[in-house]
Amino acid sequence: MTSGLLEDASFNQSPAFGDVDLFTADRPLADAAARLGLDTKALTACGRDYGSAATLDLGRVANENPPKLRTMDGKGNRLDLVEFHPAYHALMEKSIGHGIHASAHDGSEPHGPLASRAVRLYLATQAESGHLCPVTMTHACIGALKAEPALLKKWRSKIQSRTYDPRPLPWREKKGVTLGMGMTERQGGTDVRANITSATPISSQGGGDHVEITGHKWFMSAPMCDAFLVLAQAEGGLTCYLMPRYRPDGSHNGLRFQRLKDKLGNKSNASSEVEFHAAYAERVGPEGAGVRTIIEMVNLTRLDCAIASAGQMRIALSQALHHIRNRSVFQKKLADQPAMRAVVADLALELEAQVALVFRLAHAADHAATDPREAAYARLLTPAVKFLVCKSTPQVVYESLECLGGNGYTEDLPMARYYREAPLNAIWEGSGNVMALDVLRAAGRHPDAATDTLSRLVRTASQAFHVTPLAQALERTLKSADAERRARFLCEGLARIAALAALVEAGSDFATLYGETRLGAGHFAQFGTADLGSNETALMDRALAI
Ligand SMILES: Cc1cc2nc3c(=O)[nH]c(=O)nc-3n(C[C@H](O)[C@H](O)[C@H](O)COP(=O)(O)OP(=O)(O)OC[C@H]3O[C@@H](n4cnc5c(N)ncnc54)[C@H](O)[C@@H]3O)c2cc1C
């Protein structure tokens, strides 16, 4: 063996993954988009852009060079600036250029605006997840700002701009802006009613519309956003406010960043701890209605968590398929080894169902305003889908990583980064138990709508697999005194039936297989243990159609 041979990169190693059209290569996605009547030509261009080798490499570089906080200059003047690597800025420019921060609200996509944007988010997250934090938050904040039309009107053109402008300037002087959110405090995250940060009216501007906020936030991500939706206690109770980085006179607002979190993953994105020192802010929605006002935002971010997690699973599985098609062991390609095929086909089956499910939910969100049944579906299923999809992500990413063997575990390839990112969406915007309890809350507040939604899901799902016993168990548990303790059972059961129903609605060839292997008896939890029989080839071919 010569040293030249040892340096030969083609020595039974898979070539680098890149220059792939992430939209067309993903048959479950392309089918979902066609079913929803979306502009597949535009989405193909988007898939090529995020799947190019150059864009995928921006993801690597942005995470190898995390942001730095500069609280002061060398002479002690406050700066409160976070400096990001140019790769992060390039990704922001791209995703804002694709309208992922605002297109669902700006009328540019009259047909399926949320679903169409969801496809672009799903594609973008495959290149890099961290930069999508402010992109998602900007999109979601628009939902909450609708509660204060005059304020939204003032900001709208800057928010909807497709120009990314990272300059630290008052928002009116910028070509485009991004929005963040500060809800979580040290003593209460999920329980926002425990917030102690307080708002004091500025007397000259009256009515509690303009306030100064004093307190802190324990997590406030993307601190270079131009304004933040913040919850604070006013005289009338917990209230939502929009806090710009600069006061109306152009001076620095009272935001003092304490430090950046040292996180498991999500390295390209900064998440700050921040203090507010009489920071100027404007009220959003009625005083005392903070939770009701931010619910619009929260629903949109929860949907985004599910979509982005589905994208994270997809890119991990694509990397795995690409590798096993190129790597041989024992004189045979890994993709032809029966035990390996059982694993990746099982992962592909999970993605078939979860992709169908998240886009079914996006469709419901698109039609919720005009169709009460879609509204009921969105209300009941949003937490359940977030629970199932986000909780599946670490496991799917881990199995995909293992398909690359030792290489998968190294920092030279992106699998380790995907793995570190994978648990985040399950925690952010409502952790697992909180989602499960939210399903109970939705069912308790609107029992007739919930029963009707479940009945329709069961009717549809039953075309492929007998789900009635499970549905009856869910109904019994829901009505029992034990419902809270069994909240995860209810939540996952509901999401699994909805996933099966989504496959049936999609006319999928794999609906019965999904029902048998996920809801039937005699199956184990690990991927690769289910008997998928002759479906393996079709599942693998559809998962990465290149
Ligand atoms: C990377 C990152 C970025 C973030 N960015 C932001 C941001 O920009 N803005 C922001 O406001 N927040 C942000 N967060 C905070 C995040 O939304 C919260 O961490 C999350 O909502 C959970 O709140 P907590 O940390 O206070 O946990 P807790 O509320 O203390 O929950 C701890 C655990 O208890 C469980 N639990 C809670 N209630 C119940 C119950 N009734 N019964 C049973 N179990 C329960 C939860 O599921 C969880 O597992 C970020 C977090 C991370 C990790």
| Same-domain check for residues 196 and 116 | no
216 neighbors 198 (Cβ within 8 angstroms): no
Domain containing 230 equals 175-289
Parallel/antiparallel/unpaired status of strands 227-234 and 179-182: parallel
Nearest atom in ligand 1 to 180's CA: 8
Q: Is residue 368 part of a domain?
A: yes
What is the arithmetic mean of pLDDT over 132-157?
96
| Burial call 490-525: b when 16+ CB within 10 Å, e when fewer | bbbbbbbbbbbbbbbbbebebbbbbbbbbbeeeeee
Among 289, 305, 321, give the residue marking a domain's end.
289
What is the whole-number distance in angstroms between the Cα of residue 302 and the centre of ligand 1?
13
The DSSP-derived string for 228-288 is EEEEEEETTEEEEEEEESB-TTSSBPSEEEEEE---SS-TTS-EEEEEEEEEEEEEESSTT
Q: How far, CA to CA in Å, does 456 sit from each of 157, 366, 450?
A: 41, 19, 10
Residue nearest atom 45 of ligand 1, based on CA coordinates: 433
Ligand 1 binding pocket mutation candidate from 82, 132, 178, 219 (most atoms within 8 A of CB): 219
Gap between the Cα atoms of 466 and 239, Å rounded: 47
Q: Exposed, middle or buried by CB within 10 Å (0-12, 13-18, 19+), for 2?
A: exposed
Look at residue 100 and tell me if it is in a domain.
yes
Q: How confident is the model at residue 110 (pLDDT cuts 50, 70, 90)?
A: confident
Q: What is the largest CA-CA distance in the chain?
A: 83
Measure the CA–CA gap between 358 and 308, rounded to whole angstroms: 10
**Torsion, Cα of 110, 111, 116, 117 (10° steps):** 20
Cα 524 to ligand 1 centre (Å): 30
**Taking CB atoms and a 6 Å cutoff, what residues make up the pocket around ligand 1?**
180-184, 189-190, 219-221, 263, 266, 271, 424, 427-434, 437
Are the C-beta atoms of residues 316 and 401 closer than 8 Å to each other? yes
Ligand 1 center from residue 270 Cα (angstroms): 17
263 and 334 belong to one structural domain? no
3-state helix, strand, coil in the chain (%, to 5): 55, 15, 30
- Same-domain check for residues 539 and 476: yes
Query: What is the residue with the minimal CA distance to atom 7 of ligand 1?
Result: 220
Mean pLDDT value across the chain: 96
In this predicted structure, the answer to whether residue 2 has a pLDDT above a threshold of 70 is: no
Average pLDDT over residues 318-347: 97
Q: What percent of the chain has pLDDT over 70?
A: 97
- What pLDDT does residue 4 have? 62
418 and 460 part of one domain? yes
Confidence of residue 7 (pLDDT cuts 50, 70, 90): low
Asked if 526 and 470 sit in the same domain, the reply is yes
CA of 184 to the centre of ligand 1 (A): 7
Q: Which two tokens stand for residue 373?
A: 């049944």
Per-residue DSSP letter, 321 = H
Rounded CA separation 401/405 (Å): 7
Which of 63, 133, 184 to mutate for ligand 1's pocket (most ligand atoms within 8 Å of CB)? 184
Q: What is the C-alpha to C-alpha distance for residues 102 and 136, in angstroms, rounded to an integer?
A: 9
Instruction: Determine the average pLDDT of the residues in 115-125.
Output: 98
Domain shared by 98 and 120, yes or no = yes
Contact 82, 260 (CB under 8 A): yes
Would you give the distance in Å from CA 274 to the centre of its chain?
24
Among the listed residues 319, 352, 298, the one whose alpha carbon sits nearest the alpha carbon of residue 509: 352
Q: Are residues 360 and 495 in the same domain?
A: yes
Q: Is 50 exceeded by the pLDDT of residue 1? A: no
Alpha carbon of 429 to ligand 1 centroid (Å): 7
Q: Tell me if 4 is assigned to some domain.
A: no
| pLDDT on residue 521 | 87
Atom of ligand 1 nearest to the CA of 189: 26
Residues 314 and 248 in one domain: no
The CA 40 to ligand 1 mean position distance, Å, reads: 37
CATH code assigned at 378: 1.20.140.10
Q: Which residue has the least CA distance to atom 43 on ligand 1?
A: 433
Task: Give the whole-angstrom CA distance, residue 415 versus residue 126.
Answer: 11
Residue 500 has pLDDT above 80, yes or no: yes
Q: Are residues 336 and 257 in the same domain?
A: no
Q: Is 373 a residue whose pLDDT tops 90?
A: yes
In terms of Cβ atoms closer than 10 Å to its own Cβ (0-12, 13-18, 19+), residue 74 is exposed
- Structure tokens given for 282: 């404007």
Query: What would the pLDDT profile of 257-316 be if each residue is shown by its tens digit?
Result: 999 999 999 999 999 999 999 999 999 999 999 999 999 899 999 999 999 999 999 999
The mean per-residue pLDDT over the stretch 2-25 comes to 83
pLDDT reported for residue 397: 98
Return all residues near 437 (Cβ < 8 A) that are at least 6 apart.
484, 487
Q: What is the pLDDT of residues 349-360, one digit of tens each?
A: 999 999 999 999
Judge residue 407's burial from the number of C-beta atoms within 10 Å of its C-beta, 0-12 exposed, 13-18 middle, 19 or more buried: middle
Closest C-alpha residue for ligand 1 atom 46: 431
Q: Which of 289, 309, 331 is the last residue of a domain?
A: 289
For 295, the token pair is: 């619910």
Name 138's Cβ contacts closer than 8 Å, sequence gap at least 6. 101, 102, 159, 177, 178, 179, 225
The pLDDT value recorded for residue 228 is 98
Can you tell me the distance from the alpha carbon of 467 to that of 302, in angstroms, rounded to the nearest whole number? 27
Give this prediction's pTM: 0.97
Q: Helices 40-51 and 27-35 sit at what angle, rounded to 10 degrees?
A: 150
Nearest CA to ligand 1 atom 25: 189
* Residue indicated by tokens 């604070």: 232
Please indicate, yes or no, if residue 168 is contained in any of the structural domains.
no
- Closest C-alpha residue for ligand 1 atom 13: 219
Q: Are 37 and 98 within one domain?
A: yes
Per-residue pLDDT band for 6 (boundaries 50, 70, 90) equals low
Residue 256 predicted with pLDDT over 60: yes
Q: Which two tokens stand for residue 193?
A: 């009613």
pLDDT tens, residue by residue, 504-540: 999 999 999 999 999 998 889 999 999 999 999 999 9
**At 191, which CATH number?**
2.40.110.20
Per-residue pLDDT at 220 = 98
Phi-psi bin for 236: left (phi > 0), alpha (psi -120 to 50), beta?
alpha
**Whether residues 335 and 283 fall in one domain:** no
C-alpha 428 to ligand 1 mean position (Å): 6
pLDDT at residue 206 greater than cutoff 80: no
Note whether residue 10 is domain-resident.
Answer: no
Q: Measured from the CA of 183, which atom of ligand 1 is nearest?
A: 11
Ligand 1 centroid, distance to 260 Cα (angstroms): 17
- Give a yes or no: residue 166 inside a domain: no
pLDDT at 8: 67
| CA of 485 relative to ligand 1 center, distance in Å | 19
Please answer whether residues 156 and 253 qualify as being in contact, where contact means their C-beta atoms are separated by less than 8 angstroms.
no
Domain-embedded: residue 452: yes
Tell whether the model's pLDDT for residue 204 goes beyond 90. Answer: no
Q: Give residue 431 CA to ligand 1 midpoint distance, Å.
A: 6
Domain boundary among 263, 289, 315: 289
Q: Give me the sign of the Cα torsion angle 525, 531, 537, 542.
A: negative
Q: Are residues 283 and 421 in the same domain?
A: no
Task: Choose the residue to mutate in 427, 429, 484, 486 for probing ligand 1, maximizing ligand atoms within 8 Å of C-beta.
Answer: 427
Q: Is the pLDDT of residue 205 over 70?
A: no
Distance between CA atoms of residues 132 and 178, nearest Å? 11
Rounded CA-CA distance 183/189 in Å is 7
**Distance (Å) from CA 310 to ligand 1 centroid:** 21
The tokens describing 256, both together, are 């003092």
Q: What is the pLDDT of residues 395-450, one digit of tens each?
A: 999 999 999 999 999 999 999 999 999 999 999 999 999 999 999 999 999 999 99
Beta partners for 227?
A: 179, 244
20 lies in a domain?
A: no
Q: Based on the structure, what is the number of domains in the chain?
A: 3
Strands 271-284 and 255-260: antiparallel
- CA–CA separation, 480 and 176 (whole Å): 51
